[in-house]
Structure 1
């Protein structure tokens, strides 16, 4: 007998295999079976939230559903090299897939390894010192390493989602991510997983070089042959994967300088809002001020249409904190992260609106870099609004909606500090008006959301790449420069850890198509 069974259980029952088994026994009217959890999600409708579980039931020896969590990587030390620029999810997963396909990845990372990177993050928090090559965006693992580690995506058609999860489990992630509807790893767990992925590359004969910034390309007759580093080293390969992330502005500048075709790409921009987690718990779970020990910190996802343009939550971090994500001195950028336990007393989320070509007329002269220039402009302005360092400009939420300067601010998880600022006057009108309408609508959808117990910090601007690097659909190769393979968020083809990982694998497979054709 093999079958799947859906059950609805209390949070306490969901916390124990023994209690889940008892619920299944009652539903099936027998104790003679084995069971395996396939999917877990929270149903927060009504006054008493439940967990919805999908289980596989069998009375035979083996389950039909098997998750692959073990992978073997062959020795590629003497194989043809492929240069991989960037060690974020796209670069790491591309490298591991290249090894499986028989190629030697040479990974070049401008930043430091995860351990040394922490020291620069500490200086960013406490001394407001921005290291342009080692920060929340640059360094081993990319922007995803020090984040909430959310692993859900809407891009499931682009790759094998279960395979990505299995590779993460192989490198140390908990098996919970294989069954949770909204899995996450946490900023305290991701660094170790990323380091193990690096070790897999090294053990297979690949190379990983930190503090190695690419400053030029080696191009011969419209064919990419390799790269030149800041130290003057030339590194050649059979192909070059460009997986530098959405904040590698110098790479975008280099592409334009070398007359390599890129195009402007709309992105989203706004603020990061922070509420007390207890307030979000009460809104989502109807639990008063205490959700209890068995329910996780409540997340939310919300969207509202304002004049045919969406205002929506982005990268929501329950039980998290707001962090400084600038990549250069003189700019302020905010983002969110949380640990695996999501135990902070704060909940934060980006609330953003899309920026389109008609919105940035003053920047059209920058051509393919127009959105990037607009992004830079606002980040520099945010730095001015906050006082000139990494202090973030802030305003209580209801004050912002009511166009009122906040006389005082709430406690905040943002360690560099916050400064009251009239964001209702400073943020561009087309963004501000939509944000205000959006917050009013959110307050109606989630009673208690629109409150001065919450506040907004500016500016949330690194939601996605402001540039797209074109590529062919079948091989992912650049249409103008052969041997160049754009990948991940920075190229405009992903939005998060999982979609970037899947895209990295797709690009590696595209390289094999080209090199074996």
Structure 2
């Protein structure tokens, strides 16, 4: 059993296990890549000759900007008088071409990681994806950004890799109790992600790198006997005597299986309609609604790092803000340092915005969803009608489209103007490519959301210097924070209470909130399949 032995000097803690010691160190940004410096610092604290340290491994890394000088906090294992043993994650899957099948609807993180776990369990995954391969999605996204034309089956939400592929690849999660977070990260590394994601406190891949990783996962699934059907939309779920038997596609084709994992993401509204038509249980679920707020990245850097100019050795600064306003939560969400605001509508006549960052996070803007909790009691008939919050969400998105003027031009307002109720005479240059139109966001947002944001933003400004400024722009609307509908499932079997063999999964069913948590839920649903 490893023992933690406190070192008296510097309050450092060390783990002693045979000839390994773990230290928590503070490293200046300019020295974080200098392994010799870290080794020497560790040797001095351990009071041993540097030559006795045969290797080191950084386990965790985060930025501490609470003091005047930002530093990296790192947890490092030092190997004393022994060589480090490299960690290898074998990807040795058997071929499952002749094994029993399971259908997986959706090729987002929940679906892809469910498929990988199926390979481990000797189950043949058959993925049904309404959208296109990850590379082919780029052309539809280009049309979306330049011309404001939405392909309802291929956009930022639908297609191989799901919503996360072209909206950032942030891997931060609080889902440790739901499953093996490290296993998800290791699988991403095995498919091409850098091993930085294994140690960073807020791991991030980047939209420019994720498509290659998704493609590698696809090859693993196909090379081991799995199937993936693109451009194939599920229009019905086939059941007999309360047990799932397969799915029907828009082409008329039936695919049969005794197990169906439903991993469709938070925007597949047509799946909810299937449940409604068949009188299967669905229920409303609270979600959050608001705007995307963008600042010049320099403002955020100055506030968080207490400097005029950010050091080249520090990444663009991140923030997380939360406030209670009249008993209602207002919080930042999906913050993108060095990022871009993206149009994420899935159908014509609606505005939905989200944010993403490339791997280097080197754009001049920082954006974050800033949203207000929407509860069942906020929407009439939500307790009795399961789609009340879904309809409410859609109405706000349609109003945003009308107020913006069409072609995905988004209604927008400067921050101080928004709080003081003024129409902005001009809008700052920003990253939203389809364009922004100066408007009163009170014409778009429900009154309780608008009022909560107006009260919260000056309070955020008191917490973070420079945040409350008219250099910041509010772009509407951030509405797809999570699904406003939950498909219920049994806590033990993870199956729908009415339909055996049907596993509601991931964000679309209301059981995840990001890439990692969705991936974990996908693996859990695959684990729940019994032969």
Question: TM-score, length-normalised on structure 2?
Answer: 0.94
Residue in structure 2 matched with residue 258 of structure 1 by the alignment: 278
> Are 1:292 and 2:318 counterparts?
no
Residue in structure 1 matched with residue 355 of structure 2 by the alignment: 336
Residue in structure 2 matched with residue 160 of structure 1 by the alignment: 180
Residue in structure 2 matched with residue 327 of structure 1 by the alignment: 346
Residue in structure 1 matched with residue 78 of structure 2 by the alignment: 57
2:125 partner SS: strand
Residue in structure 2 matched with residue 119 of structure 1 by the alignment: 139
Residue in structure 2 matched with residue 393 of structure 1 by the alignment: 411
> Are 1:410 and 2:431 counterparts?
no
Cα contact 1:67–1:166 (8 A) shared by 2 = no
Q: How does 1:69-218 map to 2 (within 5 A)?
A: 69-218=89-238
| Partner deviation per Cα, 1:109-150 (whole Å, 9 max, x = no partner) | 000001100000000000111000000000000001012211
- CA distance in structure 2 between the aligned counterparts of 1:309 and 1:62, rounded to whole angstroms: 54
Cα contact 1:11–1:50 (8 A) shared by 2 = yes
- CA distance in structure 2 between the aligned counterparts of 1:69 and 1:412, rounded to whole angstroms: 42
- CA distance in structure 2 between the aligned counterparts of 1:373 and 1:83, rounded to whole angstroms: 29
Cα contact 1:56–1:63 (8 A) shared by 2 = no
- CA distance in structure 1 between the aligned counterparts of 2:446 and 2:138, rounded to whole angstroms: 34
Offset, 1:366? 7.7
Cα contact 2:130–2:153 (8 A) shared by 1 = yes
Cα contact 1:69–1:169 (8 A) shared by 2 = no
> Are 1:27 and 2:48 counterparts?
no
> Are 1:226 and 2:239 counterparts?
no
Query: Which sits farther off after the overlay, 317-326 or 7-16?
Result: 7-16
Residue in structure 2 matched with residue 509 of structure 1 by the alignment: 527
Cα contact 1:397–1:452 (8 A) shared by 2 = yes
* Pair 383,425 (structure 1): closer, same or farther in 2 beyond 3 Å: closer
Residue in structure 2 matched with residue 377 of structure 1 by the alignment: 395
Residue in structure 1 matched with residue 63 of structure 2 by the alignment: 42
- CA distance in structure 2 between the aligned counterparts of 1:353 and 1:60, rounded to whole angstroms: 55
- CA distance in structure 1 between the aligned counterparts of 2:132 and 2:193, rounded to whole angstroms: 22
Offset, 1:68? 4.9
- CA distance in structure 2 between the aligned counterparts of 1:117 and 1:441, rounded to whole angstroms: 40
- CA distance in structure 2 between the aligned counterparts of 1:17 and 1:404, rounded to whole angstroms: 54
1:458 partner SS: strand
Structure 2: runs of 5 or more not aligned: 1-18
2:379 partner SS: helix
Cα contact 1:333–1:458 (8 A) shared by 2 = yes
* Pair 365,152 (structure 1): closer, same or farther in 2 beyond 3 Å: closer
Structure 1: runs of 5 or more not aligned: none
- CA distance in structure 1 between the aligned counterparts of 2:151 and 2:301, rounded to whole angstroms: 37
Cα contact 2:235–2:249 (8 A) shared by 1 = yes
Out of 298, 305, 317, the position equivalent to 2:324 is 305
- CA distance in structure 2 between the aligned counterparts of 1:372 and 1:494, rounded to whole angstroms: 17
* Pair 439,68 (structure 1): closer, same or farther in 2 beyond 3 Å: farther
| Partner deviation per Cα, 1:54-105 (whole Å, 9 max, x = no partner) | 01122243548x7553321110000001000000000000000011001000
- CA distance in structure 1 between the aligned counterparts of 2:511 and 2:327, rounded to whole angstroms: 24
Residue in structure 2 matched with residue 437 of structure 1 by the alignment: 455
Offset, 1:430? 0.4
1:143 partner SS: coil
* Pair 364,38 (structure 1): closer, same or farther in 2 beyond 3 Å: closer
> Are 1:421 and 2:442 counterparts?
no
> What count of residue pairs does the alignment treat as equivalent?
510
Offset, 1:420? 0.2
- CA distance in structure 1 between the aligned counterparts of 2:362 and 2:103, rounded to whole angstroms: 40
2:135 partner SS: helix
> Are 1:459 and 2:480 counterparts?
no
* Pair 366,136 (structure 1): closer, same or farther in 2 beyond 3 Å: farther
- CA distance in structure 1 between the aligned counterparts of 2:216 and 2:90, rounded to whole angstroms: 14
Residue in structure 2 matched with residue 318 of structure 1 by the alignment: 337
- CA distance in structure 1 between the aligned counterparts of 2:467 and 2:90, rounded to whole angstroms: 44
Question: TM-score, length-normalised on structure 1?
Answer: 0.97
Cα contact 2:414–2:474 (8 A) shared by 1 = yes
- CA distance in structure 1 between the aligned counterparts of 2:89 and 2:413, rounded to whole angstroms: 46
Query: Which sits farther off after the overlay, 426-435 or 190-199?
Result: 426-435
Cα contact 2:284–2:382 (8 A) shared by 1 = no
Residue in structure 2 matched with residue 349 of structure 1 by the alignment: 368
